[in-house]
Amino acid sequence: MSLQNLWFTLIAVLWCGYFVLEGFDFGVGVLLHAIGRDERERGLLLRTIGPVWDGNEVWLLVAGGATFAAFPQWYATLFSGFYLALLLILVALIVRVLAIEYRNKESDPVWRKRWDLVHSVSAAVPALLWGVAFGNIVRGVPIDAAHNYTGSFFTLLNPYALLGGLTTLTVFTLHGAVFLALKTTGELRDRARKTVLLVGPGAAIFAVGFLTWTLVDLDGASHGHIAASAVAAVLAALTLVGGLLATWKDRDGWAFAGTAAAIVATTAALFLALHPAVMPSTTSAAYSLTVTNASSSHYTLTVMSWVALAFTPLVLLYQAWTYWVFRARVTGDGSVSVLARRSGPEGELPGHTHEGSAA
């Protein structure tokens, strides 16, 4: 495997990790008012992601940094052409942080309810727009001979990309509901499981439709691996259905594994449909950005590879340890597990006061 293909694969892995981990964060945010009936219950829902949500965002930073370093031309065309869409995502992510951090700065229930509403909106926006963005990347956008994007913001709002946005929004919402069923007890868990069974069929329909459209468009294209992408798409459908069945059988752990695997398989299907292009041009295939003409020098990729080899295992081990430490459920009566109780008085999260952001 060439270094260009290696880094294309690593970037795909980073996006898989981001969508799996940040996906349930988005889903929890979207479902705050649907599952949490009052301020106290919504606070409990936020505690399920309290120890991990900011760490999950690191996957996005690393994916963006890796793209900038390994494929600077891809980064330049993508971020200039998708500037407004990516700015909306960035603003939503910033506002979501404010909603999480500011929620408990006041004890007024109205104050908290408003920030919870802001949180739900700011979680739904990137959940939708990431699908729109990736739909356009896979489908292709107008790019000229100088590799400049020549379309407008409304060019990105085509039916295929919007279907991609609905797919990510519903799948992330489903993933968040499965996560809440895994991390809560009592009535909150019951509502989360009902939400899984309610949202699941719609998410499956959107996902199957989006992946089928992807494979149909891929037939005859100058890029993509249609057979491998089809296999990944089938795996995505099977694991998504398997996750729904696991919820129905009251197996929350297997349900979460199913939706996580479905997200990974869907992301893999999109990257397989894209390779060896990184941004196809709808103006002319000759103007498309590929892993070859968009990459950095061999020396740069070599240095990056050694750095990644040294530090990536340490980061993965640390994040795995974090999830292990905070693996216990958040109970509906406000009590916490022994592990959580050790982290602070009354189960506070490390680095937070009782009125802290994740309390």
Looking at the chain, how many residues does it have? 359
23 lies in which domain range?
3-179+274-347
pLDDT in tens, 276-306: 999 999 999 899 999 999 999 999 999 999 9
**pTM exceeds cut of 0.75:** yes
Angle between helices 72-81 and 83-102 (to 10 degrees): 80
Q: Do residues 207 and 237 make contact, with C-beta atoms less than 8 angstroms apart? A: yes
Q: Indicate the number of domains in the chain.
A: 1
Output the pLDDT for position 222.
77
Output the pLDDT for position 224.
81
Taking the CB of residue 219, how many other CB atoms lie within 10 A of it?
8
Residue 8 lies in a domain: yes
Residue 341 lies in a domain: yes
Q: What is the 3-state secondary structure (H, E, C) of 84-133?
A: HHHHHHHHHHHHHHHHHHHHHHCCCHHHHHHHHHHHHHHHHHHHHHHHHH
Q: Do residues 52 and 90 make contact, with C-beta atoms less than 8 angstroms apart? A: no
Q: Do residues 127 and 172 make contact, with C-beta atoms less than 8 angstroms apart? A: yes
Q: Which residues of the chain have pLDDT under 50?
A: 334-359
Residue 205 lies in a domain: no
Q: What are phi and psi of 143, to 5 degrees?
A: -130, 135
pLDDT in tens, 107-125: 888 999 999 999 999 999 9
Residue 213 lies in a domain: no
Residue 29 lies in a domain: yes
Output the pLDDT for position 219.
77
Output the pLDDT for position 1.
64
Output the pLDDT for position 340.
38
Residue 224 lies in a domain: no
Q: Do residues 326 and 55 make contact, with C-beta atoms less than 8 angstroms apart? A: no
Output the pLDDT for position 221.
77
- Burial of 162 by CB count in 10 Å (0-12 exposed, 13-18 middle, 19+ buried)? middle
Q: Do residues 172 and 207 make contact, with C-beta atoms less than 8 angstroms apart? A: no
Q: What is the 3-state secondary structure (H, E, C) of the chain?
A: CCHHHHHHHHHHHHHHHHHHHHHHHHHHHHCHHHHCCCHHHHHHHHHHHCCCHHHHCHHHHHHHHHHHHHCHHHHHHHHHHCHHHHHHHHHHHHHHHHHHHHHHHCCCHHHHHHHHHHHHHHHHHHHHHHHHHHHHHHHCECECCCCCECCCHHHHCCHHHHHHHHHHHHHHHHHHHHHHHHHECHHHHHHHHHHHHHHHHHHHHHHHHHHHHHHHHHCCCCCCCHHHHHHHHHHHHHHHHHHHHHHHCCCHHHHHHHHHHHHHHHHHHHHHHHCCEEECECCCHHHCEECCCCCCCHHHHHHHHHHHHHHHHHHHHHHHHHHHHCCCCECCCCCCCHHHHHCCHHHCCCCCCCCCCCC
Residue 220 lies in a domain: no
Residue 214 lies in a domain: no
